[in-house]
Amino acid sequence: MELRHLRYFAAVAEHASMRAASERLHITQPAISRQVQDLEDELGFALFTRSPRGLRLTPAGECYLRDVGKILAALDAAAASARRVADGAAGQLRLGYVENAGWDGAVPQALHRFQADAPEVSLSLSTLNSPEQLDAIGQNALDGGFIYQLDSLPDGFASLPLLEQDVVLALPRAWRIEHDETQPFDLRALAGRPFVSFPRAVYPAYHDRLFSACQQAGIRLNVVQEQPTEAAMLSLVCAGIGAAIVNAANLARPPAQARFYRLLNLSVPLPLCFAWKRGSGNPALARFIESLHKTMGETQNLSSLAETSHDGERSLNGVKQSSTHR
C-alpha cells in the first residue's frame, strides 16, 4: 500500500465517480480504477458498490474513509509544519549576546523584529562575552551571536557589522570630583587613583588594545581589583573602590552611584557585529540574518532622515538670522 492509493480512494469517495476523481487528480481514469482495485485487493474487502448509477461507499468503505481522512490531514499538517521550518518561519534559533549590547539599540531592535516576523521560531538566548560566543558557535552550541569583533574571525566564520561603540570613564560619585559632564575627561587627572578592570583571560584582544591605548596616551592604570564582567566592575565603581574604563553601551543603563564621562585622550573603538559560521543548515538563522539586514537598513534610513532634518534646521536658522540682520 502506498500513499497514492489512499489519496485516489479519498478522491473517488468524495466525487462518487472515477471520472470526476480522474479530472481532479489529472490521472487517467483507468489508472485511478486500477489503483482503487489494488487497494481493495490488499485490504480484502470492497470499498465501493458499483452500479450503472455510479459508485457508493460500502459500510466498510465509510469506516475506512473516516480514518484515511485523518491520516491525510495529519500528513498535510506535517508537510506544512516542515515547510515552515525549511523556510525559517519555525524551528529553534540559539543566539548569544554581550550583556551591555542588549540594553538598547541594534540587539533589542533585531530580536524584537524577528520575534514579530517569525513568532513560531523559539529563541534561546545566552549572555556570553565575545570569545565565549565564538567558541560556542564553533562547537555548534550557538547558531550565531552579537559580539565585539576586535580580531579577524576564525576560518569559516562570517559577520555583519552593526555599529561601533567606544569606551567611557566611569567615576564613583563618592569621589565628588568636580567636572562638567558635557566635557571630555582627561585621564591623566586620575594618575595614581585606583581603577577596576577585568582579567586579560576574559578577552585578551580587548585587554591588550585597551592597555596599549592607555600606554600610548601616557597613562598607567593603577588596577586594584579585577572583575570578569562590566556589570561587576561598575558595582565596585559604585562602591567607591575605583574608577573604570567601560563600554559606552553602559550609558543605556547608568548605575545610580556612578558618573560617565567621554574621554579626552583615549579611544578604543568597539565594533559590534553579528557573527555566525558559514554553511549553517539552520534556515531560521538565514531568516534572522535577513531580518537583521532589514533592521539595520531601516536604522540607517532613520539616521539619514534625522541628519537631513538637522541640516535643514540649521539652514533655516541661517536664513532667519540673515533676515534679522537685514
pLDDT tens column, 189-236: 999 999 999 999 999 999 999 999 999 999 999 999 999 999 999 999
User: Strand 144-148's sheet: what is its strand order?
Assistant: 120-127, 90-97, 144-148, 270-277, 157-165
CB 224 within 8 A of CB 78: no
Looking at per-residue pLDDT, the higher value among 89 and 98 belongs to 98
| pLDDT score of 303 more than 50 | no
Domain at 167-268, CATH homologous superfamily: Periplasmic binding protein-like II (3.40.190.10)
Q: For the chain, which residues make up each domain, given as ranges?
A: 3-86, 92-164+272-316, 167-268
C-alpha cell at 69: 481522512
**Looking at 2-16, 87-101, 284-298, 305-319, which range is the least confident one?**
305-319
Q: Dihedral (C-alpha) 231, 116, 142, 89: value to the nearest 10 degrees?
A: 180
Helix (H, G, I), strand (E, B) or coil at 62: helix
**Partners of 283 in the beta sheet?**
none
| pLDDT score of 118 more than 50 | yes
Q: Mean pLDDT, to the nearest integer, of 15-23?
A: 86
Q: How far apart are CA 5 and CA 27, in angstroms?
A: 13
**Looking at 121-130, 143-152, 266-275, 290-299, which range is the least confident one?**
290-299
pLDDT at 314: 52
CB 84 within 8 A of CB 131: no
Q: What percent of the chain has pLDDT over 70?
A: 91
Rounded to whole angstroms, the maximal C-alpha distance in the chain is 106
- pLDDT tens-digit readout, 80-91: 888 887 888 889
Q: How far apart are CA 234 and CA 257, in angstroms?
A: 9
pLDDT at 301: 54
Residues 6+ apart with CB under 8 A from 21: 8, 11, 12, 14, 15, 27, 32
Report the chain's mean pLDDT, rounded to a whole number: 88
Indicate the pLDDT class of residue 308, thresholds 50, 70 and 90: very low
Instruction: Answer whether CATH 3.40.640.10 is correct for domain 3-86.
Output: no
Indicate the pLDDT class of residue 70, thresholds 50, 70 and 90: very high
| pLDDT score of 127 more than 80 | yes
CB 187 within 8 A of CB 266: yes
C-alpha cell at 72: 491525510
Residues 6+ apart with CB under 8 A from 90: 81, 84, 118, 120, 121, 284
Q: How far apart are CA 55 and CA 142, in angstroms?
A: 58
C-alpha cell at 105: 539599540
Q: Mean pLDDT, to the nearest integer, of 251-279?
A: 94
Indicate the pLDDT class of residue 319, thresholds 50, 70 and 90: very low
Domain 3-86 and domain 167-268, same fold? Reply is no
* Torsion sign over Cα 199, 200, 203, 208: positive
- pLDDT tens-digit readout, 159-181: 999 999 999 999 999 998 989 98
CB 170 within 8 A of CB 244: yes
pLDDT at 326: 44
Q: Mean pLDDT, to the nearest integer, of 123-144?
A: 96
CA angle in degrees (0–180, nearest 5) for 254-256-262? 45
Q: Mean pLDDT, to the nearest integer, of 282-299?
A: 88
Looking at per-residue pLDDT, the higher value among 139 and 24 belongs to 139
Indicate the pLDDT class of residue 323, thresholds 50, 70 and 90: very low
Architecture of domain 92-164+272-316: 3-Layer(aba) Sandwich (3.40)
| pLDDT score of 317 more than 70 | no
Could you tell me where the DSSP H helices lie in the chain? 3-15, 18-25, 29-43, 59-86, 106-117, 130-138, 204-216, 230-238, 283-325
**Partners of 223 in the beta sheet?**
195
